[in-house]
């Protein structure tokens, strides 16, 4: 995914996170820090959540097909396979992106200012 794949779903999670934080009246967090937080913390969580949702109920044969594509190292093949074999793949991704954005924004909004700044500085 760009901004690790989310752009394909017409959602920029970094912009959405910044928008949520600003809407709550909080001090803005620099976009480079939000991008780093997305890539290093939130995107791996997205992969985990989407993976769990997609594999739930998938047959062993289908799971084997998908794993073979991932193991082959072709970055585009797994996504194309998912779009062909999981009809609601784009919706699952979009839903999970927004859930993670909402959760992260809530954390920043509810965190004490110095603690949120410290976390951003250390990512």
- The model's pLDDT over 93-108, given as tens digits with 9 standing for 90+, comes to 999 999 999 999 998 8
- For the chain, what is the mean pLDDT? 84
pLDDT digits (tens, 9 = 90+) for 41-52: 999 999 999 999
pLDDT the model gives residue 6: 43
The count of domains in the chain is 1
In a domain, 5, yes or no: no
Which DSSP letter does residue 76 get? S
- Candidates 79, 94, 1, 95; CA nearest to 39 is 1
Give this prediction's pTM: 0.76
- Domain limits for position 47: 11-122
DSSP, collapsed to helix, strand or coil, labels residue 114 as: helix
Q: State mean pLDDT over 57-66.
A: 92
Cα Rg of the chain, angstroms: 16
Whether residue 3 lies inside any domain: the answer is: no
Give per-residue pLDDT as tens, 14-43.
Answer: 999 999 988 888 878 898 999 999 999 999
């Amino acid at each position: 995914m760009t901004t690790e794949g989310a752009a394909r779903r017409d959602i920029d999670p970094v912009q959405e996170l910044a928008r949520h934080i600003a809407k709550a009246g909080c001090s803005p967090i620099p976009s480079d820090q939000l991008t780093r937080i997305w890539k290093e913390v939130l995107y791996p969580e997205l992969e985990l959540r989407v993976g769990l949702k997609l594999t739930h109920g998938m047959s062993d044969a289908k799971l084997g097909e998908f794993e073979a594509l991932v193991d082959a190292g072709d970055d585009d093949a797994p996504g194309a396979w998912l779009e062909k074999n999981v009809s609601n793949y784009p919706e699952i991704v979009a839903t999970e992106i927004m859930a993670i954005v909402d959760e992260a924004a809530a954390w920043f909004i509810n965190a004490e200012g110095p603690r949120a700044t410290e976390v951003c500085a250390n990512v």
